[in-house]
């Protein structure tokens, strides 16, 4: 069994991805650690965090699924992979990033908003597409897409919260990305607040 298949088997069980943007590597590691402690095992560490590669290394050898987010070019994708990222996420679709990820058998989740982008991303081997920013769409959008493209798997990110998470999942999303809630919780009340919030999400998930 290939590592890519194993990854998808684990990832699709998670349903929620913690998107972590820290002011520095220390803050990002703390938020991510708290998210894992709360019960989330899929963590996207964004390249808007200075020194994010240190956080990848921090999680090396753990059971968490650690990915790189806000990857804008192939050089950053390769940097992330060489530093331990298990999946790569970008706010847009880039054929060069797709090729780099395919070269290393790393899943690539590109941001797509149109049918044309989705078809192109699928042609380049992307199995899960990030709908970003999701707050510009209604959950019914997934059903509309799955009419002509029934094999598209969508992961909405941006504007996902406790109140609408299940609407997206019930509409067909394979997972959702949450982020700003976790950062706000950490900055207002520390790691314990993140743990508590994550547990609220998992309880709501059922």
35-68: pLDDT as tens digits: 999 999 999 999 999 999 999 999 998 999 999 9
- pLDDT tens column, 78-137: 999 999 999 999 999 999 999 999 999 999 999 999 999 999 999 999 999 999 999 999
Residue 206, pLDDT above cutoff 80: no
The one catalytic residue in 14, 27, 44, 53 is 44
- Which residues sit opposite 176 in a β-bridge? 16
> What pLDDT is stored for residue 31 in this prediction?
98
List the one residue out of 24, 190, 62 whose CA is nearest residue 43.
62
Report the alpha-carbon distance of residue 157 to residue 175 in Å, rounded.
Answer: 9
The one catalytic residue in 130, 167, 191, 196 is 130
> What pLDDT is stored for residue 3 in this prediction?
81
Domains in the chain with CATH codes: 4-200 (3.20.20.70)
Report the alpha-carbon distance of residue 185 to residue 201 in Å, rounded.
Answer: 13
Predicted structure pTM score: 0.96
Q: How confident is the model at residue 1 (pLDDT cuts 50, 70, 90)?
A: very low
44 belongs to the catalytic site: yes
């Amino acid at each position: 069994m290939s590592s890519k298949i194993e990854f998808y088997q684990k990832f699709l069980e998670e349903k929620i991805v913690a998107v972590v943007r820290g002011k520095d590597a220390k803050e990002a590691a703390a938020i991510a650690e708290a998210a894992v402690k709360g019960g989330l095992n899929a963590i996207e560490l964004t390249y808007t965090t200075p020194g994010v590669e240190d956080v990848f290394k921090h999680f090396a050898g753990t059971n968490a699924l650690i990915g790189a987010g806000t990857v804008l070019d192939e050089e950053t994708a390769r940097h992330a992979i060489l530093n331990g990222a298990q999946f790569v996420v970008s706010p847009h679709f880039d054929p060069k990033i797709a090729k780099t990820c395919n070269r290393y058998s790393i899943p690539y989740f590109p941001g797509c908003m149109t049918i044309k982008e989705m078809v192109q991303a699928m042609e380049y081997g992307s199995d899960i597409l990030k709908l970003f920013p999701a707050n510009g769409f209604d959950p019914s959008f997934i059903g509309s897409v799955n009419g002509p493209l029934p094999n598209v798997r969508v992961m909405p990110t941006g504007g996902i919260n406790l109140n609408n998470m299940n609407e997206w999942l019930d509409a067909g999303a394979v997972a959702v990305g949450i982020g700003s809630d976790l950062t706000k919780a950490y900055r207002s009340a520390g790691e314990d607040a993140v743990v508590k919030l994550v547990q609220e999400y998992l309880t709501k998930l059922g």
